[in-house]
Every structure is written in C-alpha cells, then in structure tokens.
Amino acid sequence: MNPKAIRYRSFWLFLLFLFAAQANAFSFGKDDQAKCACMPDFTKLVEQNSAAVVNISTTQKIKHPHRLPPGMEMPDIPEDSPFGDLLRRFFGEQGDDEAPEMESQSLGSGFIIDSHGYIVTNNHVVKDAEEIIVRLSDRREFKAKLVGTDSRSDMALLKVDADNLPTVKIGHSSKLKVGEWVMAIGTPFGFDHSVSVGVVSAIGRNLPSENYVPYIQTDVAINPGNSGGPLFNAAGEVVGINSQIYSRTGGFMGLSFAIPIDVAMDVVKQLKAHGKVVRGWLGILIQDVNRELAESFGMDRPEGAVVLKVMPDSPAAKAGLQVGDVVVEYNGKRIHQSSDLPLEVGRTPVGSTVPVTVIREGKRKTLKVTIAELPAEEELAEQAGKSHPNKVKTDRLGLVVEKLSAARRKELGTGKRGVLVRKVGKGPAREAGIRPGDVILMINNKDVTDPAQFHKLVKSLPGGRSVPVLIQRGDAPVFLPLKIPK
C-alpha cells in the first residue's frame, strides 16, 4: 500500500475514534444526569418544613448541686477571705436547707403537629422542667404548657397559646424501607434549624431497657439538641422522632435512633385525650432463646421468649402460663425474639382476650389471656418485690436494696433491722449522700426490717418535705436528711 493511501486510512480511523469517544462521553453524562435526577431535593424539603420545627429550651432548679458529702464540713474561713462567699455559694452551708437553688438549662427540638399549638418532643427534653420555652423559626417565643408525658416511649406533648401555626405532614413509618433517604432538622449543640441527611439503616430495632418502641436506626448525624426533632422521608413527611444515639464520646458516631411516627401518634392521641398512656400487660419476666436453650426445650430452632417468672395475680398467672413456657406466638403474630413480645402486648387494648401459643415440654399449647393495664413503674416494683423478696428497686428514691444476711446483722449489731443498699441511681437518695454498701436502719423514724417492708415505707412517705434516714456506714451510724419529691 502506498504512503498516500496509508495516511488517508489513518485519518478516517482517527475521526472514527474521536466520534466513538464523544458518543461514550455523552452517554456517560446522560447516565449521571439520570442518577442525579433520582436524588431527593433536600433544599425544597427544608424550605417546606423548617418553619414547623421549633427550638425548645427548659429551666430546672437544682438544690445543693455541689453539696459536701456526709461527714465533711466547710472549713473555718476568715470573714474577710475572698473565697468565703464563693465557697458558700458553691457548696451551701452544711445542713442549710434554705440554701439558694441553682438553675440548669437544657436545649432540644420539637415540631408542630397542629396549627392550634400542639407540639411533639421527647420526654427527656422537658423532664423536671420548671419552665418550657418554645421558639419558632420567625423568632417568636411562647411559654409552653405540658399536656402529658410518657417515659416508656420517651414522648411528651406540649401546647402553646397560638393559632395559624405552620405544621408538618405526618407520614407512615410502617412504609419505611432500609436504604431509604431521610432528613433531620433540629438544634444540635444549640445551632437552630440545622439539617442533616442519611439513610435508614434498620427498622424495628430494639434497644436495651427499651421495651415499647421498635426504633428506626439511621446514619443521620444526630447530636445533643436534636432530641425531639422530626425525621423526614424524601416526600417531606415526618416518619420518626429523633431520640437517641449510640456513642462512646457523647457525640455522633454513625448510629442514631428515632421513634416511629406510627407509635408516636398513638401516644399523642392518648396524651391529648387522657394526659397519660395506657398499655397492655401480661405480667411475666422473659429472656431470649438461644440455640442451646432451644435444643433443651425440644425446639427445632431458637425463637420466642422463655418465661422466667409469672407475677402473682397477673393476666399470665390467671391464664395458666408457667415458668419454662416458651411464647412463640401472640395474638396470631409470631414471636421471633423476646423483644417482640412486649411491643405486641403493649399495643393490645386492655380487656381484650387473645390467644398465646407456648411450647411446654416440647409440645405446642394455646392459652387464652385477658390483657390488663400495665401498672405504673412503682407498682411494678412492688410486684417485683413480692416475686423477689430479697431484692427491691425503689424508683421514688433511685435505690436498689436487698436483704441483709443474719450473719451481717450480727456483725454490725443492728438486731433485726437493716437493708443493704446495692445500687444508687439518680434521685433523692444520691442527693442525700446515700452510697452503695450503706445499711438503712430507719426511715422517717420507723425501723426498716426487710426490702418489701422498706418499699412500703417509701411509698407512704409524704412528698415535698425532708425525712430523716438512719444509715450505718462501716461501724458508724449517721442520720441524713432525705428530700422526698412531690
């Protein structure tokens, strides 16, 4: 082939290559544009919904927040010392019940569900608040009234005196799918109307010590101050209420949890109507079934909830449930794991009679149970005290106490008196200076003999004033003033 023909052919091959490259680039660009068109337009969602998201600030009064531990006293400070007033203000005078209270403030989020001023937030945002202030996006502020709270779902309903307020659109959390885009608007660290986006990581997530909420797990950045704020889907509908995060640092680490809006609106409906939430109650203590337990119960695979204890006079006791039964089906719904059962029981109308299928000695058996109302936490603690006479939790004081052994009583010389303090949680007992390992001998001038009797004494204590508590710490007895909440 002559050189002229070779050059001619090479020229056309080069043009063909350029055409193919441009066509490929054009095709790639069209695909990218199609992909971008499928992404949710968060700017429009923010414009449409941010006005209905509010900032919530609360004020609490704390008495003796830095009180000296029992046994320690303020040192003698010269009258002209520059540190005297500072130390007295910080710690208060020893034994001075009239020492000034200090104010503590907290921030959270919420959203308007009704144009007449109903606002939803978390219970922990407004718990123990002396005053609740709601601030709108247009900078108007209102003092809010607390309509009702539900600690078991961490929900609270507020009401402000206003009309024609912007509202959110309520969606259906039951339609959520893993991988779906979601968006949060709230007040993280006090920064109003901050927006963060992510996807649904899991649905129906059960958290430790949370029995009545099947949480939505997301990777949306949630931080302190976001609590109580709305979680939107790509259609601009509220599908959840941002409530908790999993963190080892106190900040966001990629795991956040929201209360499903279907659960939340049921709570709101009851709080509006009655100021409280009524749930179904079965009256059993349960645990999960692992592979080894399933084999020991003669089951093909691990599933259900095994009954550890049956509360006296409970619906379960009346229906004939027994310790060792494995609940595998409740009201026609399969119980895959133990955490499924409290959710199903809690949403059952009180007074309903439902079938409960158990595996007993390797055989399936169906019982009819008439569901009762879930008692208050203090009543449940008392029920647990009857089932566990050697150990009782008193939520009113934040204490867990247990029976003092005869040998220990003899060693301490307390006679027939005394219960051992096992745990001290947040509450009046901690504020009074009671510690784990203390022995409570008397409360309100009455001898304490055992955990169940102690629980009854605590339940009968008058609210709103201090009562004396005699404890023994080591070899030394000491009286402490215990302020009982109203």
Q: What is the CATH number of domain 389-483?
A: 2.30.42.10
Instruction: Output the pLDDT for position 17.
Output: 58
d(CA 396, CA 462): 12
- Output the pLDDT for position 76: 53
Residue 33: its pLDDT value, please? Answer: 44
- At residue 483, the pLDDT reads 86
Contact between 257 and 244 under an 8 Å Cβ cutoff? The reply is yes
Q: Among 208, 407, 380, 394, which Cα is nearest to 279's?
A: 380
Give domain 280-373's CATH number out of 1.10.4190.10, 3.40.50.970, 3.30.1330.40, 2.30.42.10: 2.30.42.10
pLDDT greater than 90 at residue 476: no
Q: How far apart are CA 289 and CA 51, in angstroms?
A: 47
pLDDT reported for residue 25: 47
CB 262 within 8 A of CB 196: no
Question: 3-17, 43-57, 417-431: which has the minimum mean pLDDT?
Answer: 3-17
> For residue 452, how many other CB atoms are within 10 A of its CB?
17
CA dihedral 375, 377, 379, 385 (to 10 degrees): 130
Say which DSSP state 65 is in: T
* C-beta of residue 228 within 8 angstroms of C-beta of residue 75: no
CB 239 within 8 A of CB 182: yes
User: Coil, strand, or helix at residue 40?
Assistant: coil
**Positions marked catalytic:** 124, 154, 227
| Structure-block tokens of residue 365 | 């058996």
| Common-topology check for domains 52-159 and 389-483 | no
Q: Is the pLDDT of residue 385 over 60?
A: no
What is the rounded average pLDDT of the residues 290-305? 87
Taking the C-alpha atoms of residue 53 and residue 238, their distance in angstroms, rounded to an integer, is 11
Q: Which residues contact 235 (CB under 8 A, 6 or more apart)?
A: 171
pLDDT range class, residue 375, cuts 50, 70, 90: confident
The pairing of strands 333-334 and 353-360 is: unpaired
Average pLDDT over every residue of 336-349: 91
What is the signed CA dihedral for 146, 148, 154, 158, rounded to 10 degrees?
Answer: -40
pLDDT tens digits, one per residue of 140-197: 999 999 999 999 999 999 999 999 999 999 999 999 999 999 999 999 988 989 999 9
- Say what angle helices 377-387 and 451-459 make with each other, to 10 degrees: 160
pLDDT digits (tens, 9 = 90+) for 11-26: 555 555 555 555 554 4
Report the first-to-last Cα separation within the chain, whole angstroms. 106
Over the range 202-224, which residues count as b (16 or more CB within 10 Å of their CB) and which as e? ebebbeeebbbbbbbbbbbbbbb
Q: Does residue 257 surpass a pLDDT of 90?
A: yes
pLDDT band of 6, cuts 50, 70, 90: low
Mean pLDDT of 318-329: 94
Q: Mean pLDDT, to the nearest integer, of 304-308?
A: 90
Q: How far is CA 395 from CA 156, 316, 377, 441, 485, in A?
A: 20, 24, 7, 19, 11
CATH of domain 52-159: 2.40.10.10
* Residue reference for tokens 């027939």: 416
Q: What is the pLDDT of residue 379?
A: 63
pLDDT band at 226 (very low <50, low <70, confident <90, very high): very high
d(CA 8, CA 257) in angstroms, rounded, equals 68
Topology annotation, domain 169-274: Thrombin, subunit H (2.40.10)
Name the least confident of 24-38, 205-219, 221-235: 24-38
**What band does 29 get if pLDDT is binned at 50, 70 and 90?**
very low
Confidence of residue 394 (pLDDT cuts 50, 70, 90): low
What's the CA gap between 60 and 374, in Å, rounded?
A: 30
Contact (Cβ atoms closer than 8 angstroms) between residue 57 and residue 133: yes
Q: What is the DSSP letter of 202?
A: E
Domain positions in the chain are 52-159, 169-274, 280-373, 389-483
Q: Is 9 left (phi over 0), alpha (psi -120 to 50) or beta?
A: alpha
Distance in angstroms (rounded) separating the CA atoms of residues 429 and 407 = 26
Name the band, by pLDDT with cuts 50, 70 and 90, for residue 95: very low
In terms of average pLDDT, the best of 33-37, 134-138, 208-212, 385-389 is 134-138
pLDDT band at 30 (very low <50, low <70, confident <90, very high): very low
In whole angstroms, how far apart are CA 379 and each of 93, 283, 455, 463?
A: 37, 12, 10, 17
Q: In this predicted structure, what is the pLDDT of residue 354? A: 97
For 80-135, the DSSP string reads: T-TTHHHHHHHH--TT-TTPPPEEEEEEEEEEE-STTSEEEEEHHHHTT-SEEEEE
State residue 390's pLDDT score. 62
Give the CA distances from residue 444 to residues 19, 401, 457, in Å, rounded to whole numbers and listed in that order.
Answer: 94, 17, 9
